[in-house]
């Protein structure tokens, strides 16, 4: 894809009106994609972390959560938060609705997994602050007073998988302040504007450069407006095999010299699928390849980006299959 030039930022903006212990997936004529790799079976949800959360780094061999610790089932918020705040490893099974407030801390070496299809955290969110090795799966997050999930202050090896997110007051997922080795996979995002932020602010480069390595794959961005994700400084951020549908402001934004690889995704009715630079933030590097665009504007690209394959192996699904496999596989009740 050639670099899009000759269109100002403001002009563009103006144009946009398992068992618990094992639980540890203008017009059609404008559609285009490079030759795609073979389809792999995606129906069966992975039971171990992939992407950056699978990488051995920072003294942590992949992301295993509470594996090896006691398995407990919680049915009320007080008990739930008590187990989240313990230092020992736990597999915490969530049954029913946990009504919490603000952002509640989760300590290291935890697996938090919803039972069935109706486990929910509402009213508040979960915060990883200088934590590591946490798995969050099969949970519905609604109505958070702040962020639904915050990963910050050099937290690392976090896997967020097969969850559903909507209607928060701020971001649904924020990965900021030197966080690293994170995978966000097979989630359903809807009824929200500011979906996911990587990198705290334009002024936080001293903490964020050399970190913020994140994989996003097989997520369903279902009518959400922006930040799918918005990235500052992180490299590489790997955005692959996601389904973007009716995203009113933009799909992906790479800013402040971030390095983002966008590949094998399906964009449908997204006026600005990829930005380099956004609002007051300077341009970031972004490479796009093997994406499919239907009823979309032109993606912006800039420069080169470090290859995720130097960190981990992965296999792409065909972009044309994404609208079929992602909506049925993403979200709760699928693992």
Neighbours of 251 (CB within 10 A): 28
In this model, does residue 27 exceed pLDDT 50?
A: no
Structure tokens at 155: 């937290």
Residue 287's DSSP bridge partners are 261
Question: What is the rounded distance in angstroms from the CA atom of residue 71 to the CA atom of residue 89?
Answer: 9
β pairing state of 274-276 and 90-94: unpaired
From residue 17, alpha-carbon distances to 26, 128, 249, 272, 296 in Å are 17, 35, 8, 11, 14
CA distance 193 to 189: 10
The model's pLDDT over 52-80, given as tens digits with 9 standing for 90+, comes to: 999 999 999 999 999 999 999 999 999 99
pLDDT computed for residue 40 by the predictor:
43
- pLDDT (tens digit per residue) in 234-246: 999 999 999 999 9
Decide: pTM greater than 0.75: yes
pLDDT category at 156 given cuts 50, 70, 90 is: very high
Task: State yes or no: is 227 an active-site residue.
Answer: yes
Out of 107, 227, 230, 245, the active site residue is: 227
């Amino acid at each position: 894809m050639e670099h899009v030039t000759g269109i100002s930022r403001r002009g563009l903006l103006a144009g946009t009106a398992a068992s618990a212990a094992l639980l540890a997936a203008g017009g059609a004529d404008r559609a285009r994609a490079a030759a795609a790799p073979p389809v792999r079976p995606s129906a069966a949800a992975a039971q171990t972390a992939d992407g950056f959360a699978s990488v051995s780094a920072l003294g942590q061999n992949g992301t295993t959560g509470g594996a090896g610790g006691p398995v407990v089932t919680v049915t009320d918020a007080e008990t739930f938060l008590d187990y989240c705040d313990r230092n020992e490893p736990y597999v915490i099974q969530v049954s029913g609705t946990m009504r919490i407030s603000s952002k509640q801390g989760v300590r290291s070496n935890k697996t938090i997994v919803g039972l069935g299809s109706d486990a929910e955290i509402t009213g508040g969110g979960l915060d990883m602050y200088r934590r590591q090795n946490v798995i969050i799966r099969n949970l519905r997050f609604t109505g958070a007073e702040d962020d639904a999930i915050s990963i910050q202050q050099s937290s690392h090896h976090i896997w967020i998988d097969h969850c559903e997110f909507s209607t928060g007051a701020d971001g649904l997922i924020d990965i900021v302040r030197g966080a690293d080795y994170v995978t966000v996979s097979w989630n359903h995002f809807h009824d929200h504007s500011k979906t996911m932020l990587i990198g705290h602010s334009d002024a936080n480069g001293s903490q964020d450069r050399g970190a913020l390595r994140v994989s996003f794959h097989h997520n369903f961005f279902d009518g959400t407006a922006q930040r799918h994700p918005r990235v500052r400084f992180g490299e590489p951020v790997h955005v692959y095999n996601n389904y973007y549908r009716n995203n009113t402001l933009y799909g992906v934004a790479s800013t402040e010299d971030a390095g983002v690889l966008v590949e094998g995704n399906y964009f449908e009715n997204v006026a600005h699928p990829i930005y380099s630079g956004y609002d007051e933030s300077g341009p970031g590097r972004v490479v796009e390849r093997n994406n499919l665009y239907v009823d979309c504007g032109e993606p912006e690209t800039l420069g080169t980006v470090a290859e995720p394959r130097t960190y981990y192996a992965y296999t792409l699904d065909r972009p044309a299959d994404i609208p079929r496999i992602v909506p049925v596989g993403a979200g709760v009740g699928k693992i």
